[in-house]
Amino acid sequence: MKLHQLRYLAAVVQNGLNITTAARKLHTSQPGVSKQLKLLEEELGFPVFERDGRNLTRVTPAGQEVVDRALRILEEVQNIRRMSSDLNDERKGSLSIGTTHTQARYVLPPVVQKFRAGYPEVDLHLHQGTSEQIADLAKLDRVDFAIATGASELFPGLVLLPCYTWQRKIVVPRDHPLAREREITLKTLARHPIVTYTFSFSGRSSLPALFESAGLELRVALTASDADVIKTYVGLGLGVGILASMAIDPQGDADLAVLDADHLFAPHLTWIGFRRGRLLRGYMYEFLKVFAPHLNRRLVDLAIRAGSGDELDQLFRDVALPSR
């Protein structure tokens, strides 16, 4: 069994069992990948894949165990490379971050600017998407850090560090009837079509569950993952906007009335996560601290060693998280 066989195996699985695509990304030939997979199965003595002719259709149960172990081995190989890079030059490297549009547009710019000032030779790569899309990137190990809100069940195997809380705000055109209301209620909101984020948040704080628990119908005019898109359609009169507090730009959104909704919606928690077992390079620790100042190296290392979610909760119990 050779390391490159495990690398080929992982690439095929990560590319939807498409050997041609995997070969292209590995910069090798499709017949070469197929041959190495066959040799690996012969050495194992059982099939890793089920086949339909020349096509791979699914991973066998035994094959899945092999895949899981192969991914852990390749992770350790990557950790050794990271350690070597840190020992040789800890100020050079790359950092890939999967995050939502709101984080990338409204939260990360000053963070990236400050980080780049200290680490100009680290290449940063931002991948934007919904929580589900970010989860897929994390599962395929295509990002070093995942930044998201809620939906923690989508990210098994990741160490999730709490960063800050935020509230929802209601936005309407300045001449909208709600702009004159002294206090908005859920019943009042239920009379209007809603423009808000794609429903990827989980738990009781999600809008559909909140309205349902109050015996009200949520009338959705449009959902989008982009806060700017939401504000555009609110400005056109399509409906009442509900979006994250940090997505409000006092100057750029001067044509919209921003209404407080803290009494209606529970605060949300934004966290940053990385694969358990990943070796963090020095500049990765620094990015965590710039993004969330309470995430110093000691606290992050303690979180990595924490076994269960309860231990992690206990670790952060007395940490005062900032609110945006």
Domain ranges of the chain: 3-84, 90-165+268-315, 168-260
pLDDT at 308: 67
pLDDT at 86: 61
State which CATH number among 3.40.190.10, 3.50.50.60, 3.40.1030.10, 1.10.10.10 fits the domain covering 90-165+268-315: 3.40.190.10
Two domains, one topology: 90-165+268-315 and 168-260: yes
Cα angle 137, 281, 112 (rounded to 5 degrees) comes to 65
The band of 216, judged by pLDDT with boundaries at 50, 70 and 90, is: very high
Out of 62-76, 81-95, 283-297, 301-315, give the one with best mean pLDDT.
Answer: 283-297
User: What is the mean predicted confidence (pLDDT) over 232-248?
Assistant: 94
Burial (0-12, 13-18, 19+ Cβ within 10 Å), 128: middle
d(CA 134, CA 149): 11
Q: Is the pTM of this model over 0.75?
A: no
Taking domain 3-84, whether its CATH number is 1.10.10.10 is answered by yes
The β-bridge relationship of strands 256-260 and 168-173 is antiparallel
The band of 201, judged by pLDDT with boundaries at 50, 70 and 90, is: very low
Q: Are 242 and 172 in contact (CB under 8 A)?
A: no
Q: Which residue has the tokens 């999730």?
A: 160
Out of 82-86, 147-151, 188-192, give the one with best mean pLDDT.
Answer: 188-192
pLDDT at 204: 42
Q: Are 242 and 261 in contact (CB under 8 A)?
A: yes
pLDDT at residue 240 is higher than 90? yes
Look at 10-14, 86-90, 178-182, 191-195 and tell me which has the smallest mean pLDDT. 86-90
The β-bridge relationship of strands 194-197 and 220-224 is parallel
pLDDT at residue 186 is higher than 90? yes
Out of 44-53, 70-79, 125-134, 184-193, give the one with best mean pLDDT.
Answer: 184-193
User: What is the mean predicted confidence (pLDDT) over 272-291?
Assistant: 90
In this structure, what token pair is assigned to residue 319? Answer: 């940490």
Measured CA distances, 35 to 31, 32, 154, 295 (Å): 6, 5, 35, 46
Q: Which long-range contacts (C-beta less than 8 Å, at least 24 apart) are formed by 19-23?
A: 19/56
The band of 2, judged by pLDDT with boundaries at 50, 70 and 90, is: confident
Question: For the segment 255-280, what is each residue's pLDDT rounded down to a tens digit?
Answer: 999 999 999 998 889 999 998 878 88
Hey, how many other C-beta atoms are within 10 angstroms of the C-beta on 284? Answer: 22
pLDDT at residue 87 is higher than 80? no
d(CA 313, CA 141): 25
Provide the mean pLDDT of the chain.
88
pLDDT at 165: 93
pLDDT at 198: 80
Q: Select from 95, 85, 187 the least CA-distant residue to 147.
A: 95
The β-bridge relationship of strands 49-52 and 55-59 is antiparallel
pLDDT at residue 7 is higher than 70? yes
In this structure, what token pair is assigned to residue 280? Answer: 């963090």
pLDDT at 258: 94
pLDDT at residue 172 is higher than 60? yes
Percent of the chain with pLDDT over 90: 49
Q: What is the CATH number of domain 168-260?
A: 3.40.190.10
d(CA 89, CA 70): 28
Q: Select from 27, 309, 43 the least CA-distant residue to 161.
A: 309
In this structure, what token pair is assigned to residue 95? Answer: 């950092």
